[in-house]
Structure 1
Amino acid sequence: MKRLLVGAAVCAAVAAPAAAADITPKYTKAPAMTAPQAIYNWTGFYIGGHLGGAFADNNSLEGGGGRFLGGVQGGFDYQFAPNWVMGLEAQYSWLNRNTTGVTFPGGAVVTGRNDQLGSVTGRVGYTWGPALVYAKGGFAWRDNNAIGVSVAGAPVPFATTGNNKDGYTVGAGLEYMFAPNWSAKAEYQYYNFGNTTFTAGPPTVVGTRVKDDEHSVKVGVSYRFGWGGPVVNK
């Protein structure tokens, strides 16, 4: 009996480590850490300047030629939801060539002067990281488009309809925050002031209808007040 008890104890001692070796430990993998996403804060006032070019349609007193422009802009943006941005912007531009002329048969020359453009627009855009793509539209203004008609260098009387100072504008662009408080943008903007029709003057000019519009391409830089750096979306 004693021998049986000793033998059973020895067998149990040998079998226990073997059984333990057959049990595979199970580990639970920790969830991967997700880095917080940085959302840049566009809310606040800004001012800045821009440079670019303006191009009229062929059916205009500018005849489709390009002109250099430069100006200033200012506005306010509000960011919400959280990647959408809406705002209001005022913009004013000066054009370098303010007098243009079109020659008609019989020696009649029609000149026009338009050297300033302005706009007040709303804009809405979508931002990801430091970039913002946007569309804009609203009220447009230009300086008085003074028109003159001459024959052989001598001014002659004429009359027109249209020749509006006020109109509308639409555009789109891309803006990028490249440093705290600073952003740069590139945008296209179209200005439309209707049409001008000559109702009196030299016979070759009467009945002529010209389009009053401008296409512009601009690059600009703005300083943003109160910019606090990226907002972390946890």
Structure 2
Amino acid sequence: MKKILLGTVGLVALSLSAPASAADLAARPYAKAPPMIAAVYDWSGFYIGVNGGGGWSHKCWDFSGQANARLATNVAEGCHDASGGTVGGQIGYRWQAASWVFGLEAQGNWADLTGSNVSLFFPTITNETKVEAFGLFTGQVGYAFSNALLYVKGGAAVVSDKYSYYPTATGIVNGTASETRWGGVIGVGFEYGFAPNWSVGIEYDHAFMGGRDITFNQITPVASPVDRIGQDLDIVTARINYRWGGPVVAKY
């Protein structure tokens, strides 16, 4: 009987000293994964950039007589498109509220937009136009989809124009004129941020420049001809901007 009791005690001691099975171990505590961090692109800040593209200016000439002898009614001489290339730069500032983006921008461009037509009233004369430069001063309202921005703009436009006319047969200029004309502009654009402070985009603008009386300096002056010249301007440009401030920020 004594041997049996000693054997039983030995078995109990052996079971207590044996390692615990997997079922006996306490469950490991669950650690929640850290929340995902979404990158939000901030369009706020000053920016500067360059642009290039093309444009066309629709010009209509109406003969108004002479500086000292105006006609009672203008006579149509016809229209033409002055088209060509343009290159320039822009500088501006944007600020962002939620997904809405607001901005102010000044843009200045050199241009070489030229065109001509034979006068309907003077069929031996060709009228010619050249747009040498333009500037845009606009406000912007846009909506951002993180680093993609769609915006509209509007404001003031200024254009530097030169005009001339000459006998079609000879091409020798008889009269010239130049002006700086102000008007209004509206536009739409898309911009994409491909790096924290860099973006590229494309923009279309239409300028309403109205009509003005232009007095020509005639090279062999007998009189000073006057034409009423109306003008619109359409511009398409690709742009690249560098921005200070407002890099990509983290948002939980």
TM-score, normalised by the number of residues in structure 2? 0.66
Residue 38 of structure 1, CA deviation: 2.8
Residues 202-222 of structure 1 deviation map (CA, whole Å, 9 limit, x = unaligned): xxxx89754311111111100
* 8 Å CA contact 1:188, 1:216 repeated in 2: yes
Equivalent of residue 133 in structure 1, options 124, 127, 150: 150
Q: Percent identity?
A: 31
Q: CA distance change for structure 1 residues 68 and 123 in 2, over 3 Å: closer, same or farther?
A: same
Q: Which structure shows the bigger proportion of residues in strand conformation?
A: 2
In the alignment, the residues of structure 2 paired with residue 198 and residue 46 of structure 1 have an alpha-carbon distance, to the nearest angstrom, of 38
Q: CA distance change for structure 1 residues 124 and 214 in 2, over 3 Å: closer, same or farther?
A: same
In the alignment, the residues of structure 2 paired with residue 211 and residue 42 of structure 1 have an alpha-carbon distance, to the nearest angstrom, of 38
Residue 146 of structure 1, CA deviation: 2.8
TM-score, normalised by the number of residues in structure 1? 0.71
* 2:245 counterpart of 1:226: yes
In the alignment, the residues of structure 2 paired with residue 66 and residue 154 of structure 1 have an alpha-carbon distance, to the nearest angstrom, of 20
In the alignment, the residues of structure 1 paired with residue 238 and residue 109 of structure 2 have an alpha-carbon distance, to the nearest angstrom, of 12
What count of residue pairs does the alignment treat as equivalent? 194
Write out aligned runs for 1:86-105 (5 A). 86-97=102-113, 99-104=114-119, 105=122
Residue 139 of structure 1, CA deviation: 0.7
Equivalent position of 1:53 in the other structure: 54
Residues 124-167 of structure 1 deviation map (CA, whole Å, 9 limit, x = unaligned): 10001210000000010111x23233346362599xxxx76100
Residue 55 of structure 1, CA deviation: 1.7
Residue 45 of structure 1, CA deviation: 0.3
* 8 Å CA contact 2:56, 2:81 repeated in 1: yes
Q: Which ranges in structure 1 are unaligned for 5 or more consecutive residues?
A: 1-30
**Amino acid in the other structure paired with 1:130:** N
Residue 114 of structure 1, CA deviation: 1.7
In the alignment, the residues of structure 2 paired with residue 184 and residue 62 of structure 1 have an alpha-carbon distance, to the nearest angstrom, of 35
* 2:214 counterpart of 1:213: no
Write out aligned runs for 1:4-15 (5 A). none
Structure 1 residue ranges, 4+ long, deviating more than 6 angstroms after superposition: 31-34, 198-201
In the alignment, the residues of structure 1 paired with residue 50 and residue 227 of structure 2 have an alpha-carbon distance, to the nearest angstrom, of 37
Q: Which moved more, 1:181-190 or 1:107-116?
A: 107-116
Q: Which moved more, 1:71-80 or 1:104-113?
A: 104-113
Equivalent position of 2:92 in the other structure: 75
* 8 Å CA contact 1:45, 1:76 repeated in 2: yes
Equivalent position of 1:177 in the other structure: 193
* 8 Å CA contact 2:59, 2:229 repeated in 1: no
Equivalent position of 1:41 in the other structure: 42
**Amino acid in the other structure paired with 2:211:** N
Residue 65 of structure 1, CA deviation: 4.9
Q: Which ranges in structure 2 are unaligned for 5 or more consecutive residues?
A: 1-31, 62-77, 219-224
Q: CA distance change for structure 1 residues 90 and 32 in 2, over 3 Å: closer, same or farther?
A: same
* 8 Å CA contact 1:56, 1:62 repeated in 2: no
* 8 Å CA contact 2:49, 2:240 repeated in 1: yes
Q: Which moved more, 1:63-72 or 1:216-225?
A: 63-72
In the alignment, the residues of structure 1 paired with residue 180 and residue 196 of structure 2 have an alpha-carbon distance, to the nearest angstrom, of 42
Residues 166-195 of structure 1 deviation map (CA, whole Å, 9 limit, x = unaligned): 001110010110012101011101112102
